[in-house]
């Protein structure tokens, strides 16, 4: 038996949904995580500070009694977003980031930004006041191959935006390529990247070999092995610019197991077990705390959590349910395809 004590972690990119799904999944996060940056891609999206305040209340009402959990709210950037509303949300402490979805890039992104020039007044204001922009970094141009969309986004959208607004703090979320890792490492300031648990574990074979496996399908789609290895190197390096954002994105099984299945992988329940496994494999257990608990707060200008959690390596594999049952329906849990021995024992 081996114990690892780390500061209580945070999840810097999480989908909690709403209603019965929210009530069904929130405990899997609040059990282990102190805070999470909550994605605003509801239907309809969380666009105004009034939307964010109301959503925050619904999340808090769903947190099980006894858990302390702080949702960190984000606004969904549209071409009509009002810079004054964004600034008021930031000043009040409610809004921790604004989220840029290129229209059509991922689930519920149809109200996202088509022409970034139209969002410039908001982005300029954010650069001025120091409010971070979280970015889904993929172009949606139909003629760009889905596996190249992140690299093309960096070249055609992200880099020009950074040149135009060098003071804008940008989180490149769910980085999935070596191109993304290298780009972040090259930059001197104002850019960081979150990395999901599943992109450290699967490559695109998981989705396509031996039949189509919808529960490994997410966006940005998992890439080839060389990219996964670059992500592992970045996450386990201790580099302060990389931190955990699980992108845990629950969908009920019927919406994934069908002819046009939704993108999203549900990992909240076993993320820390999976991460401890990955960090141990990389000989970097001593850097898990930086990735999961220290680098994110440093980037978002928040204190690290005072409490700790203990991860224990058990002699026998730890079992997780194959599905989480919610009022909305069953949600399949991410299967890392190897036995898990690490688990949180006290939180």
Residue 161 CA to residue 158 CA, distance in Å, equals 5
Residue 263 CA to residue 123 CA, distance in Å, equals 28
247 is catalytic: yes
Q: Which CB atom, from 249 or from 252, has the smaller least distance to ligand OTD? A: 249
The single residue among 219, 252, 290, 331 that binds ligand OTD, judged by CB under 6 A, is 219
Q: 344 exposed, middle or buried (CB, 10 Å; 0-12, 13-18, 19+)?
A: buried
CB of 99 to ligand OTD, least distance (A): 9
Residue 249 is a binding residue for ligand OTD (CB under 6 A): yes
Q: Which residue of the set 247, 253, 286, 335 is catalytic?
A: 247
CB of 136 to Zn ion, least distance (A): 3
The single residue among 106, 177, 194, 293 that binds Zn ion, judged by CB under 5 A, is 106
Both tokens assigned to 112: 């996202």
With a CB cutoff of 8 Å and minimum separation 6, the contacts of 196 are: 13, 174, 218, 244, 245, 246, 247, 265, 267
The single residue among 30, 41, 78, 81 that binds ligand OTD, judged by CB under 6 A, is 41
CB of 266 to ligand OTD, least distance (A): 9
With a CB cutoff of 8 Å and minimum separation 6, the contacts of 174 are: 13, 136, 194, 195, 196, 199, 220, 245, 247
Residue 268 is a binding residue for ligand OTD (CB under 6 A): no
- Which residues are 265's β-sheet partners? 248
Q: Which CB atom, from 8 or from 149, has the smaller least distance to ligand OTD? A: 149
- Nearest residue to the partner Zn ion, using Cβ: 136
Provide the mask over 78-107, with x wherever binding to ligand OTD is found by CB under 6 A and - wherever it is not.
Answer: ----------------------------xx
CB of 24 to ligand OTD, least distance (A): 15
With a CB cutoff of 8 Å and minimum separation 6, the contacts of 50 are: none
In 3D, which of 280, 265, 245 has the Cα closest to residue 33? 245
- The residues binding ligand OTD (CB under 6 A) are 15, 41, 106-107, 136, 174, 218-219, 247, 249, 263-264
């Amino acid at each position: 038996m081996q114990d690892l004590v780390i500061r209580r972690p945070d999840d810097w990119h999480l989908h909690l949904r709403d209603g019965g799904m929210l009530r069904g999944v929130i405990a899997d996060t609040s059990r282990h995580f102190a805070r999470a940056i909550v994605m605003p891609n509801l239907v309809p999206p969380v666009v105004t500070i009034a939307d964010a305040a109301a959503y925050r209340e619904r999340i808090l009402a769903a947190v099980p009694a006894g858990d302390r959990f702080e949702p960190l709210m984000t606004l969904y950037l549209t071409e009509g977003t009002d810079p004054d509303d964004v600034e008021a949300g930031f000043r009040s402490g409610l809004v921790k980031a604004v989220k840029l979805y290129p229209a059509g890039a991922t689930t519920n992104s149809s109200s996202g930004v088509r022409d970034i020039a139209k969002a410039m007044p908001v982005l300029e204001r954010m650069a001025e006041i120091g409010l971070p922009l979280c970015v889904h970094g993929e172009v949606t141009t139909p003629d760009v191959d889905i596996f190249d969309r992140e690299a093309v986004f960096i070249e055609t959208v992200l880099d020009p935006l950074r040149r135009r607004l060098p003071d804008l703090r940008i989180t490149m979320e769910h980085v999935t390529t070596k191109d993304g890792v290298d780009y972040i490492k090259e930059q001197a300031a104002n850019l960081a990247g979150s990395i999901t648990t599943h992109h450290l574990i699967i490559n695109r074979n998981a989705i396509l070999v031996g039949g189509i496996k919808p529960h490994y399908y997410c966006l940005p789609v998992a890439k080839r092995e060389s990219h996964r290895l670059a992500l592992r190197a970045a996450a386990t390096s201790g580099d302060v610019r990389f931190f955990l954002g699980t992108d845990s994105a629950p969908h009920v099984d019927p919406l994934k197991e069908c002819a046009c299945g939704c993108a999203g992988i549900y990992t909240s329940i076993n993320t820390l077990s999976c991460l401890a496994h990955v960090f141990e494999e990389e000989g970097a257990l001593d850097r898990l705390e930086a990735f999961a608990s220290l680098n994110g707060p440093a980037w978002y200008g928040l204190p690290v959590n005072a409490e700790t959690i203990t991860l224990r390596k058990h002699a026998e594999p730890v079992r997780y349910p194959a599905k989480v049952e919610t009022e909305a329906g069953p949600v399949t849990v991410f299967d890392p395809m190897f036995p898990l021995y690490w688990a949180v024992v006290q939180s």
